[in-house]
Structure 1
């Protein structure tokens, strides 16, 4: 609609310019000056110009409305573009979080600190266009990383058995009793005789 208005406005302007240039061309072709004919031609041109001005005034509100609609549509497009960008950023963050979790879960078995592993790998490389995570590629890269950085490996811990601490219990405070049955019996007799 705005294209039609612009085209019609250009036509009106062009006709106006042609009508202004026409009297000069006619004067050079005509020989004697006829005042009545000049007034009639001038009146005709003034009438045409008035008609053109009126048409332009009629079309101005339509052109303004078309421009407003175009601006409103542009604003809506900008708003939708911003919304789409924000949604894409949230989706990318969710994918990065999912991949990091998968990497940490797979690294927990062999690495002392799985979070270090997630920071050392390019997490985006493990996601395809559909958003699927390639676990096999993660496992391969984890094995390669462990070869390059063996100090990141989890220490080999066999089954842990508690080790006795001799400083705990009665042996640590100097009142250690003997575990010999004769010494135990002698201690009990001393207590009985002393009345304790």
Structure 2
């Protein structure tokens, strides 16, 4: 018994004409003629894609040639503005992380919760006071982001290590208040 097949129209990549080819059900082997046809179709598709890329490059070159100097300068200015804005954002995030390092367990958390554009003025400078205020407000809203406090010492802070007596007699005199 032969396996059923379906006819599928395939477009010729160069001419755009419809071509019908027999396509076996999924999983069935193609056979030598089918493999040859599939390879030919793939080759034509690659050629068509390459030709399309070349045509797009030629079109872009024609468009670039026809642009005025003002248009070109405008595009360069827009590109420079985008780079400057991105640089300002990176600067603010770095400033936020630096200021958050003292109080946050993970300073990158602070940078993730704050919008960098809130802290840049019209001149592109970072308002450090605004950043500090926003960090303090963030810690009030989300205290779990703060660094853990140092555990309390067991001696209540009464112990001193500097100038402690080294022998037993001096220690007894110190505790008795005699010396």
Structure possessing the higher relative contact order (Cα contacts under 8 Å, 6 or more residues apart) = 1
- Which has a greater percent of helix? 1
Larger Rg: 1
Q: TM-score, normalised by structure 1?
A: 0.42
Q: TM-score, normalised by structure 2?
A: 0.46
- Which has a greater percent of strand? 2
